[in-house]
């Protein structure tokens, strides 16, 4: 069987598994959507964080930035970790693939938003992709720390808490 055809066929099976196991919704959004890499622009980053602060009624941008990372890291990282552990094909992790637009009627749900192009890049995730993920998150977190005036290390601590919760929840299910 052609490997790319096999991965394309398996991606249809991956999404329901993520929805069931991680309670994660997956949405495919247009290319024009705001993605993680857009946050590298100071003005866009500030606007996105201010919008998030307004939605969650945060006292300040620092608090909003910390909660922004706590909220989004669940969908930015956990599906990739799960697919890697389960050897399931998933989209290549790239900050330009992950959409961060919140719908008008947003609530604290678990939704992974991908742009349309990324949906066609399913693959088995290897260690190198995790190196790429960490490198891109380092750049992003430095930007968020600067704009949101929050310690860089705190953003990584927020991610660590979510990752530990994720692995703990998997252990409970076994």
69-86 residue pLDDT tens: 999 988 888 888 888 888
82-116 residue pLDDT tens: 888 888 888 777 888 889 988 888 888 888 888 88
107: helix, strand or coil: coil
CB atoms inside a 10 Å sphere around CB 21: 14
- Tell me which residues of the chain have a pLDDT lower than 70: 1-12, 119-120, 172-174
105 φ/ψ angles, rounded to the nearest 5 degrees? -95, 40
102: helix, strand or coil: coil
Q: How far apart are CA 69 and CA 155, in angstroms?
A: 6
| Beta carbons within 8 Å of 39's beta carbon, 6+ residues apart | 45, 48, 100, 140, 143, 144
pTM: 0.83
Per DSSP, the residues of 17-34 read HHHHHS--EEEEE-TTS-
State residue 152's pLDDT score: 97
State residue 12's pLDDT score: 64
Question: What's the Rg (C-alpha) of the chain?
Answer: 16
State residue 9's pLDDT score: 44
Residue (of 44, 116, 125, 45) closest to 79 by Cα position:
125
116 φ/ψ angles, rounded to the nearest 5 degrees? -55, -45
State residue 56's pLDDT score: 95
| Beta carbons within 8 Å of 77's beta carbon, 6+ residues apart | 133, 159, 162, 163
State residue 6's pLDDT score: 44
State residue 92's pLDDT score: 79
């Amino acid at each position: 069987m052609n490997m790319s055809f096999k991965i394309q066929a398996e991606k249809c099976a991956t999404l329901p598994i993520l929805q069931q196991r991680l309670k994660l919704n997956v949405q495919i959004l247009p290319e024009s959507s705001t993605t993680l890499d857009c946050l590298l622009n100071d003005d866009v980053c500030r606007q996105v964080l201010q919008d998030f602060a307004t939605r969650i009624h945060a006292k300040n941008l620092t608090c909003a930035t910390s909660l922004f990372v706590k909220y989004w890291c669940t969908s930015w990282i956990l599906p990739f970790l799960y697919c890697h552990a389960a050897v399931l094909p998933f989209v290549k992790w790239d900050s330009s693939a992950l959409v961060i637009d919140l719908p008008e009627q947003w609530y604290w749900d678990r939704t992974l938003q991908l742009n349309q192009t990324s949906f066609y890049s399913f693959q088995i995730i290897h260690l190198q992709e995790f190196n790429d993920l960490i490198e891109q998150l380092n750049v992003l977190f430095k930007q968020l720390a600067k704009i949101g005036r929050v310690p860089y290390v705190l953003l990584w601590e927020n991610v660590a808490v979510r990752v530990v919760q994720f692995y703990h929840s998997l252990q409970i299910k076994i």
